[in-house]
Amino acid sequence: MSNEAASRNRLDWLILVCANVVIPVMMIWKHRAGEIGITTAVISGAVALALGNVAVIVGFRARNKRRGHTTPRALILGAGVFAVVSACVTTTGVMSVPPHNEYVDLAFSDIPLSQIRPERKALVVELIRRRAANSREYAALAAETKGNYPLNSLGGSVMSIYCSIFGFPSEHSPRCKRIRKIRAKVYEQDDSKPCTCGECPIQYQGSHVLPSNRDKRDGDFGIAAIPSHITRNGRDDKPENGKWYPWLRVHLSDGHEDAVILTKKQVEKLRDALIDWLKRT
């Protein structure tokens, strides 16, 4: 093999490696940024790897044919091996890397609501900031009482040892009938109105009724955990970075029955929340 042929062969392998590295990185990055889900990332990555490697090999063969050279079989087999390995890396990567939440980042940034566009995004950020403010107030109150008296003492104030970690509804869409606009960029929630955005669970109508996504939405469903800093006597004297207690409180209500119905998408979100809880306990 001449020096020119050897140099061209090395360059071909380099191009092949780069093509099979760039695609998994892009898929994992898009999933991390919250732009695509796990299924979309895996399928898109596999298709892109297959088409990309085919395109590279076809290009190599067309170039070599014009120059009167043959394409090494090792290069063709290498493309297949790289495609399979890269597909596995993509699948493992998107399943192990948690998606990025742009709304949360904006909520804890110093960017004013007036500079966040579109308006719907600004509304969600405002609601998250309100919840965070309420959580900080609770944490401050807990810090003031820490070590002074049991949180669940019969003779004093009673404070919940549970921490809500997941629930439906989370945030209603601005177009939902439950969200009423008071003035520019100021909204309030009216639970007396029906939920029309699909955030609430489906109202249970009895064991003889087959549910439908068009059924009335009402009630709520939630799970709450006991953080590691809670002690047996109800105080919060332990470190916060330990294992959570292995008990999970489940709450559900639709205002009429002691049952609600979750959609497949809601069950998928619940599954992810439960997997995260299992890792913490």
| Mean predicted confidence (pLDDT) in 207-216 | 86
The predicted-structure confidence for 4-38, as pLDDT tens digits, reads as follows: 777 888 888 999 999 899 999 999 988 887 778 78
Q: Measuring CA to CA, how many Å separate 8 from each of 3, 63, 65?
A: 9, 11, 14
Is the same domain home to 176 and 266?
yes
Structure pTM? 0.41
| From 51-60, 185-194, 208-217, the region with the lowest mean pLDDT | 185-194
User: DSSP labels for 126-153?
Assistant: HHHHHHHHHHHHHHHHHHHHTTTS-TT-
Is the same domain home to 273 and 172?
yes
Is the same domain home to 272 and 165?
yes
The predicted-structure confidence for 225-277, as pLDDT tens digits, reads as follows: 888 877 766 555 666 677 888 888 887 776 565 666 667 787 788 888 888 88
Is the same domain home to 222 and 189?
yes
Is the same domain home to 31 and 79?
yes
Total domain count for the chain?
Answer: 3
Is the same domain home to 120 and 196?
no
Is the same domain home to 86 and 107?
no
Q: By residue range, what is the domain housing residue 59? A: 3-96
In-domain check, residue 152 = no
Is the same domain home to 107 and 181?
no
Is the same domain home to 175 and 136?
no
In-domain check, residue 244 = yes
CA separation for the pair 131, 125 (Å, rounded): 10
Handedness of CA 108, 112, 115, 119 (dihedral sign): positive
CA separation for the pair 59, 75 (Å, rounded): 12
Is the same domain home to 196 and 273?
yes
